[in-house]
Structure formats: structure tokens, C-alpha cells
Amino acid sequence: MELGSTAELVMWKGPIELYRSGPWNVFEKRLGSFLLQTIGEDAKGGHKKMVAVLLPVFLLILVIVFAITYIHRRKRKLREKTESTSKEKKEDLELPCLDFATIVRATNDFSSEKRLGQGGFGPVYRGRLADGQEIAAKRLSNNSAQGTKEFKNEVILCAKLQHRNLIKVLGCSIQGEEKVLIYEYMPNKSLDSFLFYSSQSGLLNWPKRFNIIFGIARGLLYLHQDSRLRIIHRDLKASNILLDNELNPKISDFGVARMFSGNQTEENTKKVKGTHGYMAPEYAIAGLFSMKSDVFSFGVLVLEIVSGKRNRGILFPNHGLNLLGHAWRLWKEDTPLKLVDASLGDTFTISEVVRCIHVALLCVQLHPEDRPNMGSVILMLSSGITLAQPKEPGFLIERMSVAGESSTNELTVTLLEAR
């Protein structure tokens, strides 16, 4: 076969049809048709394979891109929500919000050397701000019996309450999980550190003790009647009474306090929050609390201030009664002065001491309706009006002696027995 100036031998198997229109054109068409058909079939199969491989890869990439976009948007919304919630919380608190780093510097990074004590809310630290002001910083503990709800409750209440016998809250700090309350610093710490330790009890003469009793009564009257809110403290005790430079009392720790509205006089709860030895019978047993349950706690506190002894954890010899039972027994025997703290010697005014014991016994009556309100208590303590005779108090006997005091959210009342 002659192809231009070059001769080639082409081997072909299979039928070939020849046409007279020219050997080259005929051969080219037949061979080209065959080659194009073959190539077309190969290309079609390769395309299917390529689609089968690339389509899953494309879908996988699409899913990954979608997932990354979704996660990014979700994180951004969550961050914006957190920032918004944090801002709203700070606005709702109605208190100055200090930067957490400021509190860290003021307390030397919450140094153990700055630690003042431990409460149900968390540890309390002494600090000094840049302007020289001394503060007490109460830091919410992760394993605290109280939590964020109690923290917010205390901040909101303290922001609305202002009285010389209530602790003053200077501000708060909220940063992520860190929550800190900033109080005015009380150099003499709490009342229990004076009453129940022999080395300190002598520092409280009778005029100072009476001033403390009267100051606590004024603070409670403000909470119950004179403030724009009606507040039930629910955890009044010696360790929650702080003392300033001149030993004036300040009621503190409003984490479990409740606010009453309108004509509400009492409330019931399934979760009893408070401290053994200070709770009224109806509250400890049935979860029923009111202003009269605070009055009961006040009565216990007065007997502790007069005697220098705890109500709970100490059973008196010969009769196995607690402080309430011991005071009642001495009252019936007409020997109430035997209750007086020995460290007072003969420096007290007999009429004032006896009157305080009398008022305290009226406050710890078994039934709420037999207890006076705080307005009447103030009147009884400050005047010579005739007082009603007390009946037998509630919670005279402890089934077992437990040293110290304990606070908890849900109390078991089988430890105590009302008579």
C-alpha cells in the first residue's frame, strides 16, 4: 500500500470493505470508526469509574464543611449567649461588679494566710483593694452546700437591704465559674468566736452583750417589718453575727433567706435549710417557716449570749437537757441567774439579765402563735412593761450529743425531740 512517499505494511484481521472512492479514504474511515468506537467505549467506562470514586469524596468534603460551619456558628451563639447572660446577671444584681483579677490581687491569690473562715457558701478571705479599703471576700466553693441560686439570692437581697445591724455588701465578682461576694471587713470576726472560747469570752462584758442582743433584735425587726421587703433569714446563729471595731453586731449570710410578698405570713418547704439547734420545731419537723421561726432562733441566740454556752452538743449534768431545757428548768426553780456566764462575775445588771432570759424563753415557745414578733421583743427589752409567763419551750432534749454545729440543705429531724 502506498501512502504518499512512505510505504507501510498494515496488518488487519477481520473483514474489510473496499470502495472505489480511494483506498486511503476508505481505510481511514473504517479504521477511524473502529478506533473511535473503541475509544468511546473505554472513555465511557472510565468516566463511570471516576464518578463512582469522586462522588463519595465530594459528599464527605461537603459534610465536613457543613459540620465545621455548624460547630463554629453554635460556639459563636453559645459564646454570645454566655456573654449576654453574664451581662444580664451583673445588671440584675444591682451591685458594683469588680474585676476578678482585682479580687485575686487583693487576697494575694486567695492565700491561706488571708483566710478568715469557712461557711456554707465557701471560704472567706481578707483582702485590701488598691485604694486601701479592707474587704472580706466570700468565694463560692464548687462543693458548697449552697450554689449559684443562693449566691444570686444573697446578692439581690443585700443590694436592697441597708441597716446598721446588717452586713454591708460592697460588690461582687462574676467570671465564668468564679463567683465572689465582697463585704465590709469585720475585724472582730463572728460572735461565736467570743462566746464559746474561754480566752475570748471575758472580752464581752454585760453592757456589750446587751448591746449585741439589742442590735440583733433591731436588725431582725428591719428584715421583718421596716424594710421595703419582708425577709425571713432562716439561718440566724452566732457564727452569722459579725462584730465591727466597737463590737456592734451585723447580721450576715442571706444565702438561704426568703422574701415574702403581700400579706404572706408563712411558707412551707420540703428542703429544710438551716442549722441544728437554732431551728424552730415547726420548721425542722414540717418545713414550715415564718417570721416566728426567726424569732425562735433569736431566742436561742439570746440564751447563748447570756450563758456563753452552745444550745446544741452540750448536755447539762444531772438532767441531760440542752441549753433550752436547762434555762427552762432554772426558770421554774426561780434561779435564772445560775444560767449567767461565769466570766461576767458580778458586773451585770440583774434586772436586765433576768429580763433577757424571760424574753428569750418567750421566743422559744413550742407553738409559733405563743412567740412575740420582733416589734414586741424590742419593746420588752427597752421598757419595763409586764411580760407574759413563758410555757415550756420546744426542743428541750437531744437524743445524742454532737459537738459543734452543722448546717445542711436537707435536715433529718430525728436527732431532736420536741416536748
Active site residues: 235
Contact call for residues 106 and 135 (beta carbons, < 8 A): yes
C-alpha distances in Å from residue 169, one per residue of 101, 103, 134:
19, 14, 13
Half-sphere exposure of 53 (CA within 13 A, CB side): 6
Of 209, 221, 147, 230, which Cα lies nearest the Cα of 377?
Answer: 221
Chain centroid to Cα 171, Å, comes to 16
User: What is the rounded CA–CA span in Å between residue 374 and residue 301?
Assistant: 14
SS3 398: strand
Beta strand 169-175 with 134-139: parallel, antiparallel or unpaired? unpaired
DSSP per-residue codes, 156-189? HHHHH---TTBPPEEEEEEETTEEEEEEE--TT-
* Vertex 176: Cα angle to 173 and 177 (nearest 5): 90
C-alpha distances in Å from residue 87, one per residue of 73, 76, 103, 372:
21, 16, 19, 44
User: What is the rounded CA–CA span in Å between residue 233 and residue 222?
Assistant: 11
Long-range contacts of 261-264 (CB under 8 A, 24+ apart): 261/230, 264/230
192 backbone dihedrals φ, ψ, rounded to 5°: -65, -30
**Dihedral sign for Cα atoms in the order 192, 195, 201, 203:** positive
User: What is the rounded CA–CA span in Å between residue 259 and residue 249?
Assistant: 22
Contact call for residues 196 and 238 (beta carbons, < 8 A): yes
C-alpha distances in Å from residue 141, one per residue of 114, 123, 129, 147, 221:
16, 7, 22, 8, 31
